Structure 1
């Protein structure tokens, strides 16, 4: 798999990242191990997790796999902190919570450092300078190599990047995770320009439009799909409208012409957008993941990219 620089840094990562959001909940340890195996065998290096995925189970499963079958040094291990879903304070970017959460993540993962540590969300109750001071402590202590943000708006990204660049010795931001796909192009308005200006690499989450761009919902809602579950129905339902359906049909037309899957078309489109380093792809099984990995050899023709750009544009003429 092709490697890319993570933003304006010397860290090289695979141009697809393996997401672990379902590990420990929808995906058990055996399936997780099979996913990690096919991902690394395909040349993938960037593994994305978080302290809250599966209530910590995702990190524990990944940590166990690292001790059993995978060489830690071959991976770029990324995790996150800030979110506290079972706490009255949903987002907590205070120094005390962040550093405690980092230590807990390292213990679950069975490693003494993270290659990339990401602030999972903005916390408007904590001064940004306190949050970023905790980031600098994590790096200077050797527990973290690079840092990033996740789900920040454009102004939040720019503010954090500017603060870190304002004084020698502060750790620059290497990455930003944001939802980005043919069905969700809002990041192009402010987040992507802020990242481009600051030299921050973009890691799109939900690059397949929460699964809708695979085409699985073209004939309705399958009984075994996320949209049919009470846990994810609202999450997926956002993209089950007429506008999204038109984009999905355009993707299907392109996939028919190229002889590849709608998934491959959608993933290749976002993977090769300006500023994007590595879309984060998740799967319930290794078989599903293989379909995403098969896009490595696909580059969309310019005319198809232009057509998809037009039909999915968030600013429509007339």
Structure 2
């Protein structure tokens, strides 16, 4: 699998990442092991998790599988910290919480460092410089090799990345931002992606298949074994089952028919090759699903197909996003 640099750093990652959101909850150790081995055999390196996935069990699972199944040095392990199970405060970017969360993640993962540590979301209560200082301390201690953020808006990303760049060699450059991005969710193109491109931050798209909807599996109903039929994940899928999404899914299916491939491949290739994108993070139910996704490696969409998909899924960007010099 092709390797790409993560942002303006020396870290290289596979251009498809393996997500572990359901590990320890819907994905048991047997299925997780099959997925990890399949991913590694295909040349995949980037494995994305978080301290809250499965209540910490996703990290436990990954830690048990590393070395016993896949050499640690062959993986780029990315995890996150900052989400908290508190209804009154969903995110905690304080130095104390983040560094304690990192230590707990390392223990669950059974490793003394993570390759990429991401702040899970912006904390509106904690001063940003305190959050960034925790990141710098984690890197300087050797527990973290590279750092990034997740779910930051455009101005939040720009503020954080610029703060870090203000003292090169002292503060840690942001390597990445992880955001939802697909043909069904192109909101990052408004401000986040331009900021990332300008500041040399690589984008790691989550839910690149539109929470599974872009595969076409929901065109005639909700399959009983799908996330849309899951009590936990149905609310996650439901927003993308409206008429607007259906038109985009139909266009993807038409493109797939014309290229003699699958809707999954078309949707994944589209987001994988967007400007600024480094590696879409794919979550699969089993190794068979993952194998299908990874087989997109040889597909590049023709320009006319990309343009047609761009047109049918184009978000409405008006003032102040229009290029007024062309009007």
TM-score using structure 1 length: 0.98
Counterpart position of 1:178:
179
Counterpart position of 1:131:
131
How far residue 85 of structure 1 moved from its aligned partner, in angstroms, is 2.3
Once residues 88 and 309 of structure 2 are traced to their aligned partners in structure 1, the CA distance between those partners, rounded to angstroms, is 42
- What is the correspondence of 1:125-274 to structure 2 with a 5 Å cutoff? 125-168=125-168, 169-274=170-275
- Superimposed CA distance per residue, residues 19-54 of structure 1 (whole angstroms, 9 cap, x where no aligned partner): 000000000001000000000000000000000000
Runs of 4+ in 1 over 3 A off after TM superposition: none
Q: SS where residue 299 of structure 1 aligns? A: coil
- What is the correspondence of 1:262-301 to structure 2 with a 5 Å cutoff? 262-301=263-302
Q: SS where residue 64 of structure 1 aligns? A: helix
How far residue 233 of structure 1 moved from its aligned partner, in angstroms, is 1.9
Distance 1:86 1:29, change over 3 A: farther
Q: SS where residue 78 of structure 1 aligns? A: strand
Once residues 283 and 85 of structure 2 are traced to their aligned partners in structure 1, the CA distance between those partners, rounded to angstroms, is 21
Contact 2:208-2:282 at 8 Å conserved across structures: yes
Q: SS where residue 84 of structure 1 aligns? A: coil
How far residue 90 of structure 1 moved from its aligned partner, in angstroms, is 1.6
Q: SS where residue 204 of structure 1 aligns? A: strand
Contact 2:6-2:175 at 8 Å conserved across structures: yes
How far residue 141 of structure 1 moved from its aligned partner, in angstroms, is 0.3
Q: SS where residue 178 of structure 2 aligns? A: strand
How far residue 87 of structure 1 moved from its aligned partner, in angstroms, is 6.3
How far residue 68 of structure 1 moved from its aligned partner, in angstroms, is 1.1
Larger CA deviation: 97-106 vs 67-76: 67-76
Contact 2:190-2:317 at 8 Å conserved across structures: no
How far residue 316 of structure 1 moved from its aligned partner, in angstroms, is 8.4
Counterpart position of 2:310:
309
Counterpart position of 1:9:
9
Q: SS where residue 268 of structure 1 aligns? A: helix
- What is the correspondence of 1:18-57 to structure 2 with a 5 Å cutoff? 18-57=18-57
How far residue 228 of structure 1 moved from its aligned partner, in angstroms, is 2.1
Once residues 288 and 103 of structure 1 are traced to their aligned partners in structure 2, the CA distance between those partners, rounded to angstroms, is 33
Distance 1:316 1:190, change over 3 A: closer
Counterpart position of 2:69:
69
Counterpart position of 2:111:
111
Q: Unmatched 5+ residue regions in structure 2?
A: 319-327
How far residue 234 of structure 1 moved from its aligned partner, in angstroms, is 1.8
Counterpart position of 2:93:
93
Once residues 30 and 88 of structure 2 are traced to their aligned partners in structure 1, the CA distance between those partners, rounded to angstroms, is 34
The RMSD of aligned alpha carbons is 1.2
Q: Unmatched 5+ residue regions in structure 1?
A: none
Once residues 157 and 56 of structure 1 are traced to their aligned partners in structure 2, the CA distance between those partners, rounded to angstroms, is 26
- Superimposed CA distance per residue, residues 276-302 of structure 1 (whole angstroms, 9 cap, x where no aligned partner): 000000011001100100100000011
Once residues 306 and 13 of structure 2 are traced to their aligned partners in structure 1, the CA distance between those partners, rounded to angstroms, is 24
Once residues 136 and 256 of structure 1 are traced to their aligned partners in structure 2, the CA distance between those partners, rounded to angstroms, is 49
- Superimposed CA distance per residue, residues 128-160 of structure 1 (whole angstroms, 9 cap, x where no aligned partner): 000000000000000001000000000000000
Once residues 250 and 180 of structure 2 are traced to their aligned partners in structure 1, the CA distance between those partners, rounded to angstroms, is 21
Once residues 102 and 208 of structure 1 are traced to their aligned partners in structure 2, the CA distance between those partners, rounded to angstroms, is 29
